[in-house]
Structure formats: C-alpha cells, structure tokens
Chain A
Amino acid sequence: MDFDLFVNILYATIRTGTPLLLVALGEMVCEKSGVLNLGQEGMMLMGAVTGFIVVNHFDIVALGFVSAAIVGMLMAILFAVIVLFLNANQVATGLALTIFGSGLSAFIGADYEGKIITSLDSLALPILSDIPVIGHILFNQDLVVYFSFAMFVGIYLFFKKSRGGLILRSIGENPDAANVIGLSVLKVRFLAICFGGAMAGIAGAYLSIAYTPLWTENMTSGRGWIALALVVFASWRAERIILGAYLFGFASIIHLVAQGLGFAISSNLLAILPYAATIVILIMLSANKNKLKLYEPVSLGKPWFKKH
C-alpha cells in the first residue's frame, strides 16, 4: 500500500468518524444527566433531511446546519416532554423517537431524493495544515470537523473543571439527593437532552450536506445506534469517545482499504463490519463489567418525578 493511500484513508477516517463523534458526545452529556435517549437515529435523520432541504432551497450551507441543529433539538424536546414531564419509559420513548424520525424524514424528504446541493467545502487551517502528514489529515478538513474538535475539548473541560459538569454528574448519580440540596433536576436534564438533540441534528446534516452529499431514506444506516454503543464503550469519558468514533470511522471505510489492497470482497459483506465491530466491542467490555459500573451514571434510564 502506498503512502498516499494511507494518508487518504486516515483523512477519510476522520471525516467518517465526525458524525459519530458529534452524536456520541451529545448522547454522553445526556446520559451523564441520567437520561438514556435511544432516539439518536431519529434525530440524526431529521437533522439530515432538514439540512439538505434548507441548503437545496437557500444554498447557504451554514443555514442548513443551524436549522438541522434546531430541528434535532425540537425532536429532543418532544422526547424530553414525554420522558421528563409525563414520566414515560425512556427506552420505549427513545424507540418511538427513532421510528417517528425515520418515518417523518422519509416523508418530507421523498421529493428530494436524487437532488444535488452545494456541499460543505474543506478549509485548510493556516500553518497547522502545513504540518507534514498530520496537517493534511487533521487540519485540511471542513468546518464541522473543526467544530467537532472544539466540542470535544469543550465537553472534556466541562466535566473536568466546571461546576456545571459537577452538577450534571451529581444529577445523573442521585437525582433525589440533588433535588434535596436544591439543584433543579428536571431543568438540567431538559437542557442535556436538548444539547444531545442539537448535536445529533448537526451530525445528521453533516452526512447529507458534507459527507455524501445526498439525501436518501434512512441514510444514517444505524450510526445513531452505533453512537449509543460508543458511549458505553467509552465508559462515559470524552477522551475515549473520540478514539472510539475514529475506530468506527475506520471500520466503516474498510472497503476502501480492501480495494486499495486489491481484495475482491463483496461490499455487502464488508458493510457488515461496523455492526459486527460494535457487537465485538460490547462483548469485550463485558470482561470489565464491574469496572464499567463505576463509570455508568447510576440513575441512567430511571425516571425521576418531583414529589410535592
């Protein structure tokens, strides 16, 4: 394999990993507050279709991402209302969000299949992109990739340093105690869910505006679910999420590697890889089950109701 191919594969790995990174970071924040939102796939799809349609009509890429974030957040609010204020089961509601999101996105996007839009250009960062090899891989990307770097750093610091991170963690661990010492459990959870929705929306739009750039029904093909596994894999730590996202990114483009090496394996079989890898990683985690328990937000998935 020649060196250029190697660099190109790493470049593509970052691009492919970016939507996963964005969704997984959003979901991690949400889960840290104690809410399990299985609706990532649905929110991503809505973000993808919204972003695509907006760019198709107005030809402004930034507007596409902003509206995708808003729509992702609106989907998340729908989830938050049912889960936080009506105390519904988080698993079932998350599933409903995914089913609703895939249905609605397919419905409103039906007329846009096969249409073409101006996609997001890459933007070489001055100086940084001149670093040999790494410069091209990391700093010759597009704005959303840089945004994902920034979100990673921001969330990492948020949990390490800030009082907000402390509050979020404490609510995810013991909402009753948090309530008693005067923290507003539902407000914080609501905000965390909204943040997760916005991130999923942006991640979806990245697929339809930058990555492909096309709209097709169910185009996220399970990335929302993989991101959920990624959060577990990362044991709720940002620095491991970024690693996991790129690993999965690599697994999803492995057919490029295979082609580069001259293997002729059916692309349908290679498409299985990211899903199989997810299962393998979940199995590997089981070896450390008790250790994992130490990181898992204790109240994850459990409804909390304010008794007056």
Chain B
Amino acid sequence: MHKIKRLELRGISKQYPGCLANDNIDLTIEPGEIHALLGENGAGKSTLMKIIYGVTQPNQGEVFFNEHPVNIKNPAQARDMGIGMVFQHFSLFESLTIVENIALALGKQGGDIKSLSERIRIVSSRYGMPLQPDRLVATLSTGERQRVEIVRCLVQDIELLILDEPTSVLTPQEVEALFSTLRHLSSEGCSILFISHKLHEVTALCDHATILRHGKVSGTCIPKQETSKSIATMMVGNETPISTNYNKVQGDEVFLCIDNLSTNAKHDFEVALKKISLNVKKGEILGIAGVAGNGQEELLMALSGEIRQKKSKNPSIYFDGQPVDSLNPFKRRRLGMGFVPEDRLGRGAVPTMTLSQNTLLTSFDFGLVKNGLIQVKKMKALANLIIEKYKVKAVGEFSHAESLSGGNLQKFIIGREMQQNPKLLLASHPTWGVDIGAQVAIHKALIQLRDQGGAILVVSEDLDELYQISDRLCAICDGELSPIKATNEVSLETVGCWMAGDFSVDSVNEKEIVHVAS
C-alpha cells in the first residue's frame, strides 16, 4: 500500500536582501521518520524551517502536507495542521506560568486553564518530562524550558515536530533523555525534523539527513551509513580543513589565581558564584564547560572587572600574584588582561562604529591617545594591521562593525586583543555561530598565544571545542565549579555529570575517554 508522505517541499526558494537564503530546495519526510537537516550557520536551515512553520513565506516553490498542496500563512495555521516547532531561542514568556504560556500559543483551542493544566500534566509525564503547569517560566532551568516548548507542541494533535538545534543548551545526559522522548514520538508515527550541526547526534538519532550548503541541498544520506567526515565534507565542501588536533601542554607558573570567590545574585536572573577557586598558568588554556546561565557570565564579569565586589576583607582574584579585586577593567587591562566577550556585536564591538574606532575601544593604551587627543593615523594603521594579519574580510578600517559577518568580526576582535600581547586572555564562546573556516583560524590564534606563554581562560558550551583546544578542563553549574582535570584525563561522561552539578564523579577510566572530533 502506498504510504503517504508527511511533508514534501518542491523547489523552495527564499530571497532576502543581499542573499538567496534558500535556493530550489527539495525535501521529503515520511510519517514517523526522524529527519536531520544539517548545515553550517548561515546555510539556510533556519529559513527553511521558518517557511515550514509559516513564520515566513517562500518566494517560489510548493509545500505539500500529507500530499495536499498548502500555503502556510502563519504559525497558527501550521499548528492547526499539526506542525509544531521548538525554537533555539525559546519563545517563552518569563513572567507567565507554564500553563499561561501554553494557553497563549494555543489560542481558543487551549480551553480553560484548569483542563489545560491537567492535559499538560498528563502529556508531560507520558513522554518522560514531567512539568508543574503553574510554575513561572522564569524559575525554570534551560532544560525545563525546552520541555515546555515540546509539551506545548504535544498537547495538540501533532504530526510533524521541528526542533531547531535542541541540544546546544543541554548536558549530555539531558540530550539522551530528549532523544528517548523523540524516539517515543516517532514510534507513534509523529515525524520529526531535527536541525543540528552536531554530526554525532545526527548519526545516533536520525533516519535520514538532508545537508544544506550556501542555501542549496548539497547532499542527502542515511547518517548511519556515513562517517562523520563524509557528512562534514558535504556540509563545508572540500576546501575547508575540518578539524585540527593540537598538542596538550602543561602550563608554566600561575598567572590568574582565583581564591574562594563568592558573589551575591542581585536579582532573580543572576547566578551567585559559590566559593570558586582556580588557577590559570602561563602557557596553558583552561576550558570551562557548562550550560548557559550557570554563572559563566558572572564569573567573566568578576574577572574582567565589569562587576566588582563592594568590599571584601580577603582579595579573591590575583593577576601574577597581585590582588586585583578593586581594579576596574581599565586598570586590569594595564596589567595585561585581554577580553573577548560572548556578545561580539554590542559589547565586544560597537555596531555602528568603524573598525578603527573599535580598535581604539580597547587598545587606547597602545599609543593611540596623546594628551587626551586621539591619534587618528596611528589608530587607522593599527586597525589595518589587525585586518591584514588576522585575515578579516572587510572593505577597510572605515567599515562599520555591524557590516562584518560574525566570523570576520570575531577574527577582528580576537586580533585586536591579541595585538595587545595579553598575559591573560579571557575568551567567552570564542567560536559561537561562526563558520568552520573562521573557527579554525580563531583556534589557531588562541593556540599561538598559548605557545607564546599567554594564560588563556575559555568559557564555552561547545564540548567539542573545549576538548580540542583546552589543556585542562572543568565545568560550572549553578555558580559552583567542578574539579579541574587535564583534558585528556577526563571523559565526556564525567564532564556531563559536572555540567549537571554532580561533582562527585571524577574518577578516571582511561578506556571510557571519548575524544569527539567533528
């Protein structure tokens, strides 16, 4: 008997100003199939799923749902048809409860709050992700918020569930739990479109994969029959080196020393740091893993000096043996600190200022200011040097920071900090959202600084990255720091436990160590 196709896309194209986001894309998903949509950032994955969910409309092409031609005008229509979507940046309202959030999305179909609460309770426990409907979203962890998003889809009759990079915010253990929920759903006939750029997850979970590159379908495959390498080549093409292995080193003497650092949370959305102690040595990279929102931001702010503790009897932060607790970022930079913040546009660089001006932003101490006046020529020369040396693709030093692609701006910011020869570099999510070419360049620059004797602290959610570049590794959870281990002595599973707050697991079983290379 002919099995009807759940979703079929034929020749979908979507034009955005200055870029063709989707170019003649075909895609078919069967009932109960878990289908992966793979591609680098900017390959057109997000646009395609927004088209399927009715957030945006294609310029060309046809969409068939259960073999009926459809024109999905908005998300409400998509939901009525049985399409649900879990967004990467959750579309939840913090000041509302779980049930209010779900009621909002369901509209009139949600029925009254009481019966909806009951349905939420039933559905969520049935799929192994229990929720209390009357809790405020603001009090939920990232993993729980994702559950709310999924349950929001499941309380309706659902035939296709789209998940956009669902694992990037989860610990390895939470990822496993999510996968079993998804398998459960698929066994009941619900189709799943799983968007990711993590190949090992796709191999573990998905039946089919469609790979996008520069807005076009660059290949389709059955992931279980492919190697990570062959899929990666479809994603990035042949010309880009896919990954490099760097040697691990032991650092020299200690440069950054944190001794029992504790802070108070000023409001509900902040995490208090609890008795954090660590050392970063000259000539090593220390990696801190963790799910976002577990105190990483607060720790970096405390180290950069953007937040200073009011008064403490005992200093808790030392640069090269000197206490710096009371010093502002300005003064800490003079002691050799460089900082690459997580938000590159709107903190690392001022969007509407030129690259020259953004050079001046942190390099003012390097001969660019004389008698309070800006030395314009020197400023431009330094900007040009950074652009050239770090291969930043920009029209010139006069380009506005916002006109650069994420990867190029990040290369510029890293270059700007590198050029100051920092003794200590703080880097937060250094390759978040950049293409693989820029990722490799940034990693190389960090390793180079390490080999010159720089002390580097990297905070990242990307475990692959941390395993690749850091010499020692630890994790942060709810403001507490796990034990610190040499990277090649700690298993992925252990880091997973640390990320979930279980610090008792630090026994090392050499055979368990999985080195994940993308």
Nearest residue, chain A, Cβ from B75: A182
Q: Which residues of A contact B158 (CB under 8 A)?
A: none
Nearest residue, chain A, Cβ from B101: A170
Q: Which of the candidate stretches A148-156, A173-181, A262-270 sits at the interface with the other chain?
A: A173-181
Let me know if B267 and A166 touch, CB within 8 A.
no
The answer to whether the Cβ of B87 comes within 8 Å of any Cβ in the partner chain is yes
C-alpha spacing A178/B100, complex, angstroms: 13
The answer to whether the Cβ of A293 comes within 8 Å of any Cβ in the partner chain is yes
C-alpha spacing A290/B75, complex, angstroms: 35
C-alpha spacing A241/B75, complex, angstroms: 37
Let me know if A173 and B93 touch, CB within 8 A.
yes
Q: Which residues of A contact B57 (CB under 8 A)?
A: 308
Let me know if B103 and A180 touch, CB within 8 A.
no
* Chain B stretch 18-68: residues in CB contact (< 8 A) with chain A: 55-57
* Chain A stretch 156-188: residues in CB contact (< 8 A) with chain B: 163, 166-167, 169-170, 173-174, 176-183
Let me know if A290 and B266 touch, CB within 8 A.
yes
User: Given that A170-B96, A174-B93, A308-B56 are contacting pairs, would A182 and B76 also be in contact in the complex, using a CB cutoff of 8 Å?
Assistant: yes
Nearest residue, chain A, Cβ from B57: A308
The answer to whether the Cβ of B180 comes within 8 Å of any Cβ in the partner chain is no
C-alpha spacing A169/B137, complex, angstroms: 14
B273 CB → nearest A CB, Å = 18
Query: 1/0 per residue B75-105: CB within 8 Å of A?
Result: 1100100000001011111111000100111
Instruction: List 12 additional A-B contacts (Cβ < 8 Å) besides A180-B91, A182-B74, A183-B104.
Output: A166-B100, A166-B104, A169-B95, A170-B93, A174-B91, A174-B94, A176-B89, A177-B91, A179-B55, A181-B91, A182-B76, A298-B95
B87 touches which of A169, A180, A290, A307 (Cβ 8 Å): A180
We find that the number of chain B residues with CB closer than 8 angstroms to chain A is: 24
The answer to whether the Cβ of A287 comes within 8 Å of any Cβ in the partner chain is no
C-alpha spacing A307/B14, complex, angstroms: 13
Query: 1/0 per residue A118-129: CB within 8 Å of B?
Result: 000000000000
Taking Cβ atoms with an 8 Å cutoff, the residues of A that contact B are 163, 166-167, 169-170, 173-174, 176-183, 290, 293-294, 298, 307-308
C-alpha spacing A249/B414, complex, angstroms: 57
User: Given that A177-B90, A182-B75 are contacting pairs, would A169 and B96 also be in contact in the complex, using a CB cutoff of 8 Å?
Assistant: yes
Q: Which residues of B contact A170 (CB under 8 A)?
A: 93, 96, 104
Query: 1/0 per residue B224-266: CB within 8 Å of A?
Result: 0000000000000000000000000000000000000000001
Q: Which residues of B contact A181 (CB under 8 A)?
A: 75, 91, 104-105
Dominant secondary structure of chain B at its interface with chain A: loop
Nearest residue, chain B, Cβ from A291: B267
C-alpha spacing A248/B460, complex, angstroms: 52
Nearest residue, chain A, Cβ from B267: A290
User: Given that A174-B91, A294-B268, A308-B56 are contacting pairs, would A166 and B76 also be in contact in the complex, using a CB cutoff of 8 Å?
Assistant: no
User: Given that A166-B103, A167-B104, A170-B104 are contacting pairs, would A177 and B93 also be in contact in the complex, using a CB cutoff of 8 Å?
Assistant: yes
Q: Which residues of B contact A308 (CB under 8 A)?
A: 56-57
Pairs across A and B, CB under 8 Å, 7 listed: A167-B104, A174-B91, A177-B92, A178-B91, A182-B74, A290-B266, A307-B56
Taking Cβ atoms with an 8 Å cutoff, the residues of B that contact A are 55-57, 74-76, 79, 87, 89-96, 100, 103-105, 107, 266-268
Q: Which residues of A contact B103 (CB under 8 A)?
A: 163, 166
C-alpha spacing A290/B266, complex, angstroms: 7
Q: Which residues of B contact A183 (CB under 8 A)?
A: 104
Q: Which residues of A contact B267 (CB under 8 A)?
A: 290, 293-294
C-alpha spacing A308/B56, complex, angstroms: 6
User: Given that A166-B104, A170-B93, A173-B95 are contacting pairs, would A182 and B268 also be in contact in the complex, using a CB cutoff of 8 Å?
Assistant: no
Q: Which residues of B contact A177 (CB under 8 A)?
A: 90-93
Q: Which residues of A contact B90 (CB under 8 A)?
A: 177
Q: Across chains A and B, which 3 residue pairs bring their CB atoms closest together, nearest first?
A: A177-B91, A182-B76, A290-B267
Q: Which residues of A contact B94 (CB under 8 A)?
A: 173-174, 298
Q: Which residues of B contact A182 (CB under 8 A)?
A: 74-76, 79, 105, 107
Nearest residue, chain B, Cβ from A170: B93
B177 CB → nearest A CB, Å = 24
Q: Which residues of A contact B91 (CB under 8 A)?
A: 174, 176-178, 180-181
B270 CB → nearest A CB, Å = 9
Q: Which residues of A contact B75 (CB under 8 A)?
A: 180-182
Q: Which residues of A contact B96 (CB under 8 A)?
A: 166, 169-170, 173
C-alpha spacing A44/B318, complex, angstroms: 58
Q: Which residues of B contact A178 (CB under 8 A)?
A: 91, 93, 104
Highest count of chain B CB atoms <10 Å: which of A163, A177, A178, A293: A177
A299 CB → nearest B CB, Å = 11
Nearest residue, chain B, Cβ from A180: B91
Q: Which residues of B contact A180 (CB under 8 A)?
A: 55, 75, 87, 91
Highest count of chain A CB atoms <10 Å: which of B75, B95, B96: B95
C-alpha spacing A290/B270, complex, angstroms: 11
C-alpha spacing A183/B105, complex, angstroms: 8
C-alpha spacing A308/B107, complex, angstroms: 23
C-alpha spacing A183/B93, complex, angstroms: 13
C-alpha spacing A183/B106, complex, angstroms: 11
A111 CB → nearest B CB, Å = 47
B217 CB → nearest A CB, Å = 23
Q: Which residues of B contact A293 (CB under 8 A)?
A: 267
Nearest residue, chain B, Cβ from A167: B104
C-alpha spacing A167/B89, complex, angstroms: 20
Q: Which residues of A contact B79 (CB under 8 A)?
A: 182
C-alpha spacing A54/B266, complex, angstroms: 54
C-alpha spacing A80/B57, complex, angstroms: 26
C-alpha spacing A293/B268, complex, angstroms: 10
Nearest residue, chain B, Cβ from A176: B91
A217 CB → nearest B CB, Å = 40
A8 CB → nearest B CB, Å = 42
A240 CB → nearest B CB, Å = 17
C-alpha spacing A177/B266, complex, angstroms: 26
B428 CB → nearest A CB, Å = 23
C-alpha spacing A294/B267, complex, angstroms: 9
C-alpha spacing A163/B100, complex, angstroms: 9
C-alpha spacing A167/B266, complex, angstroms: 29
A216 CB → nearest B CB, Å = 43
Q: Which residues of B contact A298 (CB under 8 A)?
A: 94-95
Q: Which residues of B contact A173 (CB under 8 A)?
A: 93-96
Nearest residue, chain B, Cβ from A173: B93
Nearest residue, chain A, Cβ from B74: A182
C-alpha spacing A183/B76, complex, angstroms: 9
Nearest residue, chain B, Cβ from A308: B56
Q: Which residues of A contact B100 (CB under 8 A)?
A: 166
Q: Which residues of A contact B268 (CB under 8 A)?
A: 294
A302 CB → nearest B CB, Å = 13
